[in-house]
Structure 1
């Protein structure tokens, strides 16, 4: 499911270049034209995912941004358009959603749009289940005295009559991270989640 969702967004991105008659490295279009076209087709949450994947394709060397508003194909991107396979790029949450000047709460909102929501809908291209999230973040939160397992943590939340919905407790734990650990956690989550994509 995750791979199919990623492929559908990535196909949309490369189709935009084809429709713009861009087939060679260096050819591209204004980023605002891409945004204008996408805003007609996607919801707000879907746009967040789409822009995240554009940044991921830039990070992976398939696209590049020139003069901050011109997005163009690299050789690798042109290869995809000219008959190459649809790619599943290496996801790097720490590079694509983390910015030091962005509030932790805003970073979490971006993260949730990518890893949250339901497995059944298309809002979570990198769906992360509770055990994976908990086991990845727990080592960074040693001062909280968290239970050793996800199951024990859920039991503790129920006992204290606290929220057990993923969006709530993911947020609580994420916001408890030390500033110096946010990027490290996002990197670990990227690596562990990438292993479940293929």
Structure 2
């Protein structure tokens, strides 16, 4: 037998033995994962997922795309503080969570997830997902706000006329009246 063929055969045998040994020495985690998969397979066989004739979720997503997928669309952000008081911003497009990036924030190397620097050359942990930013509808001023413990925000694609929103205080440079003046 020629040398390259012997080496290839030896490699195949070594791989087969290695795989055989690996399966004999499954870790307890491997056994637990296998048990979980077998249980899932059993449950799916006993209770297969039903089929829907129509998806209201897909319809809602498509309507969201239709609403927000246009350049120049304004968003009306109403913020409620701990006292129940409302204020509002009018922004170009949707508010963006600060943890959103245009570049990958991680890469996988040798089955290990490694963090990558963001556009500003620094690393982030995603802890800024409660901070949102955007740009004012008429002045293009940068605006940022946070939500969390006693503060919520409500997002609409048009001004709200319900009493709690109608009495909201203007918090950014643009008012509802400013926007109404610009519309034909």
TM-score normalised to the size of structure 2? 0.19
- Identify, as 1 or 2, the structure richer in strand: 2
- Identify, as 1 or 2, the structure richer in helix: 1
Larger Rg: 2
TM-score normalised to the size of structure 1? 0.18
